[in-house]
A and B are shown apart, each in its own frame.
Chain A
Amino acid sequence: GDSVTQKEGLVTLTEGLPVMLNCTYQTIYSNAFLFWYVHYLNESPRLLLKSSTDNKRTEHQGFHATLHKSSSSFHLQKSSAQLSDSALYYCALRANYGNEKITFGAGTKLTIKP
């Protein structure tokens, strides 16, 4: 079946350093859609980024990610971490258009320290 792997469960960084959270996925479908959701403490998870286009960079709120179908990856990056970026980040996969099932990774808890 479909799966999403987020290798890092916990990432702690100093403010101002670059952020990179890894996401790889497995599916038999070639037209997969990938998402990044962010879950701040005491809030509901919400969409941060999404993409279905191979090798195209997508950006939102200072974060960016590029879907690479050749390596089945969709890593989340930011050039300079802020304290307010501390949250739980989930990578998610919708395997193909018309399939309403969405598979989430285990999540990465990002903590930014001053």
Chain B
Amino acid sequence: GGIITQTPKFLIGQEGQKLTLKCQQNFNHDTMYWYRQDSGKGLRLIYYSITENDLQKGDLSEGYDASREKKSSFSLTVTSAQKNEMAVFLCASSSRGLAEQFFGPGTRLTVL
């Protein structure tokens, strides 16, 4: 088996601040994802990456940057935190093809 870790578990920032969330997986999966979870809106894809140094925009990429410097890690940066984006951010990974996604425990973002 494997595991996905997300750091930090809780992130508190000021409005306008640049904030970074980190995700690590030891499944040796090719593809990694960042989702934002808002109540009533489901999981919305921010960025995904199919291999090291690859980045693909999701439906909610505006206001975010991502980085996949290693196969095992995928970072998400909130470029300028806003109060309306307080949410839980979930990282996931999967192997190619018809494969299930494995999710991390999430990072809860609060913007003051």
* Residue positions of A touching B, CB distance < 8 A: 1, 6, 9, 33, 35, 37, 44-47, 50, 52, 90, 92, 94, 97-98, 100-107
Contact = CB atoms under 8 A, between A and B. Distances in A.
A90 B59 CA distance: 17
Contacts, number: 59
Given A90-B43, A102-B33, A104-B43, A97 B101 contact: no
Contacts of B40: 9, 106-107
B31 to A, nearest CB: 5
B31 A100 contact: yes
Contacts of A1: 59
A97 B97 contact: yes
Given A100-B50, A104-B43, 19 more contacts: A37-B101, A44-B4, A45-B103, A50-B98, A90-B42, A97-B98, A100-B56, A100-B94, A101-B48, A102-B33, A102-B45, A103-B45, A104-B35, A104-B42, A104-B45, A105-B42, A106-B41, A107-B40, A107-B42
B78 to A, nearest CB: 20
Contact of A106 (B31, B42, B92): B42
Contacts of B43: 45, 90, 92, 104, 107
Interface in B40-80: 40-45, 48, 50, 56, 58-59
Given A50-B100, A97-B97, A102-B45, A45 B50 contact: no
Kindly state the interface size class of chain B when it binds its partner: 20 to 34
Contacts of B103: 44-46
Contact of A33 (B33, B96, B98, B105): B98
Contacts of B97: 97-98
Rank and list the top 8 A-B pairs by shortest CB-CB distance, nearest first.
A106-B42, A47-B100, A104-B43, A44-B103, A107-B42, A45-B103, A100-B31, A104-B42
Nearest to A103: B45
Contacts of A102: 33, 45, 101
Contact of B105 (A35, A44, A52): A44
B6 to A, nearest CB: 9
